[in-house]
Amino acid sequence: MQKYSIFSLIKNAFSNHQNWDLAWKDPTPKKEYDVVIIGGGGHGLATAYYLAKEHKITNVAIIEKGWIGGGNIGRNTTIIRSNFMFDENAAFNEFGMNLWRNMSQELNFNVMFSPRGIINLAHSDAQMNTYARRGNSMRLNGIDAVLLNREEVKKMIPMADFSDDVRYPIFGGLVQPSAGTARHDAVAWGYARQADSMGVDIIQNCEVTGFDVSAGKINGVRTSRGDIKTKKIGLCVAGSTNILAEKLNMTLPIEAHVLQACVSEPVKPILDGVVTFGAGHFYISQSDKGEMVMGGDLDGYNSYAQKGNLPTIQHVLTGGVALFPFLSRLKMLRTWGGIMDMSMDGSPIIDKTHIDGLYLNCGWCYGGFKSVPSSGWTFAHTIAQNRVHELNSGYSLSRFSNGYLIDEKGLGTKTWIS
Out of 102, 133, 311, 411, which residue is the one contacting another protein (CB under 8 A)?
A: 311
Q: Least Å distance between CB 395 and another protein? A: 15
**Which one-letter DSSP state was computed for residue 29?**
P
CB closer to another protein out of 31 and 307: 307
Q: Which of residues 330-359 bind another protein (CB under 8 A)?
A: 344
Q: Which of residues 215-244 bind another protein (CB under 8 A)?
A: 242-243
Q: How far apart are CA 95 and CA 377, in angstroms?
A: 10
Q: How far apart are CA 359 and CA 392, in angstroms?
A: 13
Q: Least Å distance between CB 242 and another protein? A: 4
CB closer to another protein out of 108 and 309: 309
Q: Least Å distance between CB 228 and another protein? A: 23
Out of 91, 221, 256, 388, which residue is the one contacting another protein (CB under 8 A)?
A: 256
The number of beta carbons lying within 10 Å of the beta carbon of residue 160 is: 22
Q: How far apart are CA 392 and CA 387, in angstroms?
A: 10
The number of beta carbons lying within 10 Å of the beta carbon of residue 183 is: 19
CB closer to another protein out of 67 and 304: 304
Q: Does 262 bind another protein (CB under 8 A)?
A: no
Per DSSP, the residues of 175-243 read EETT-EE--HHHHHHHHHHHHHHTT-EEE-S--EEEEEEETTEEEEEEETTEEEE-SEEEE--GGGHHH
Q: Least Å distance between CB 183 and another protein? A: 30
Q: Least Å distance between CB 316 and another protein? A: 14
Q: Does 163 bind another protein (CB under 8 A)?
A: no
Q: Least Å distance between CB 400 and another protein? A: 5
For 205-244, letters b (16+ CB in 10 Å) and e give ebebeebebeeeebebbebeeeebebebbbbbbbbbbbeb
CB closer to another protein out of 137 and 353: 353
Cα-based angle 407, 175, 332 (whole degrees, multiple of 5) = 85
Are 182 and 100 within 8 A, CB to CB?
yes
Q: Least Å distance between CB 341 and another protein? A: 9
Q: Does 2 bind another protein (CB under 8 A)?
A: no
Virtual CA dihedral for 284, 287, 290, 294, nearest 10 degrees? -30
Name the segment binding another protein (CB under 8 A); options: 164-172, 191-199, 265-273, 308-316: 308-316
Q: Does 413 bind another protein (CB under 8 A)?
A: yes
Q: Does 177 bind another protein (CB under 8 A)?
A: no
Q: Least Å distance between CB 301 and another protein? A: 5
CB closer to another protein out of 305 and 333: 305
Strands in 226-229's sheet, in edge-to-edge order, are 208-214, 217-223, 226-229
Contacting residues toward another protein, per CB under 8 A: 242-243, 246, 251-256, 300-305, 309-311, 344, 400-401, 413-416
